[in-house]
Amino acid sequence: MRRLPVYLLLDTSGSMTGEPIEAVKNGVQMMMHSLRQNPQAIETAFVSIITFDSDVKQIVPLTDLASFQMVDIKASGVTSLGAALALLADKLETEVTTTTLEQKGDWKPLIFVMTDGIPTDNWQQGYSKLKAVNKGLIVGCAAGQGADDAILRQITNSVVRLDSADSESISKFFQWVTASISTTSTKVEESGKEVTGLDQLPPPPSELVIVA
């Protein structure tokens, strides 16, 4: 079976403390609940979560929806986006099956990067490593006024912006991510066509502004 690997890179730095981090936790729970109701997604989508603050961790390896267990996350420290991109590159190499002459590999990964701040490490270094291995679609989300969408635009052509990192906006972001995963899993299952840009995902809600 060809899997649709989905990676969520979530900013858990100190500025996410309080309402934003709670909204992210609720958003992930809602997303999983909703995806488990979708017959195509439950067959195809596998989800992994990487968090980045002063440390970068893959808190959930690439897991099928039925077995997925969320781990509690807390906000602290700084924004190591570069290290998160480097870890993502490693996981794409080890967890995603590539297509060879003998076998059909997984579908191209769908990657969502959500940050409310500015990277505090060398993000270009992590990005170079990611560029060498990534064949999927990266969607960047700049959450709130403190986020720099210019950096995200250098990482991907698909960037959305939330004007506020409050619970309502973050909740809308996760609803849109859920719809995007559902749409993509249906598309690959039914037509074998992969999603290559924002224009092939469902239109985002009004809280999410497309910047690139």
Element (H, E) at 209: strand 208-210
* Nearest C-alpha neighbor of 49 from the set 26, 73, 14: 73
Nearby residues of 146 by Cβ (< 8 Å), 6 or more positions away:
15, 116, 117, 118, 165
Determine the Cα angle at 161 with ends 167 and 133, to 5°: 110
Determine the Cα angle at 119 with ends 61 and 29, to 5°: 35
Q: Which residues of the chain have pLDDT under 50?
A: none
Residue 134 is predicted with a pLDDT of 81
Residue 176 is predicted with a pLDDT of 97
Number of H helices, E strands in the chain: 6, 7
Question: What sign does the dihedral 110-179-156-87 (CA atoms) show?
Answer: negative
Q: What are 158-197's pLDDT values in tens digits?
A: 999 999 999 999 999 999 999 999 999 999 989 989 998 9
Q: Are 113 and 139 in contact (CB under 8 A)?
A: yes
Residue 37 is predicted with a pLDDT of 96
As a whole number of angstroms, the distance between CA 130 and CA 92 comes to 9
